[in-house]
């Protein structure tokens, strides 16, 4: 028996599996980085808003900050010295064309001041 090409054939057969595994890890990493970016931006926007809660144009200022740094639909509610921000965004991936699906990011954070301290919680 001649086994000279057997390892090459095995490598060629497993190459698509290796490629799929690498792209899945890549997608999970990209999605994690994107979620962290959105969380950081929402939290910093709420902190800014709570420090300037007496500003009559605060909602417009917060909206401008979010629009400059994040994509997707955003809603801001300010009532009773509480700021609630919701951001929803759909992002494509390498598999969007094949699977016909997008990753959806939907985050809501609520910030308020209690006893002179700023509290921000994920809803």
Instruction: Express each pLDDT in 101-116 by its tens digit.
Output: 778 889 999 999 999 8
Backbone angles phi, psi at 101, to 5 degrees: -145, 155
pLDDT at 1: 55
Res. 96 pLDDT band, cuts 50 70 90 = low
Res. 90 pLDDT band, cuts 50 70 90 = confident
Q: Indicate the average pLDDT of the chain.
A: 89
7-to-16, 25, 75, 84 alpha-carbon distances in Å: 15, 26, 57, 59
Closest CA to 46 of 34, 58, 57: 58
Buried b (16+ CB within 10 A) or exposed e, 66-86: beeebebebebebeeebbbbb
Q: What is the pTM of this model?
A: 0.82
- Find the DSSP H helices in the chain: 6-51, 58-69, 96-99
- Find the DSSP H helices in 52-79: 58-69
Residue 61 scores a pLDDT above 80: yes
83 or 98, which is more confident? 83
């Amino acid at each position: 028996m001649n086994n000279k090409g057997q390892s090459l054939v095995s490598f060629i057969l497993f190459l698509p599996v290796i490629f799929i595994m690498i792209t899945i890890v890549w997608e999970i990493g990209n999605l994690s980085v994107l979620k962290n970016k959105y969380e950081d931006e929402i939290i910093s926007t709420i902190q800014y808003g709570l420090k300037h809660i007496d500003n009559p144009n605060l909602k417009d200022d917060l909206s401008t900050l979010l629009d400059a740094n994040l994509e997707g639909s955003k809603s801001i509610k300010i009532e009773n010295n509480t700021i609630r921000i919701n951001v929803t965004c759909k992002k494509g991936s390498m598999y969007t064309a094949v699977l016909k699906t997008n990753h959806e990011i939907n985050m809501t954070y609520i910030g308020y001041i209690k006893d002179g301290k700023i509290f921000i919680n994920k809803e």
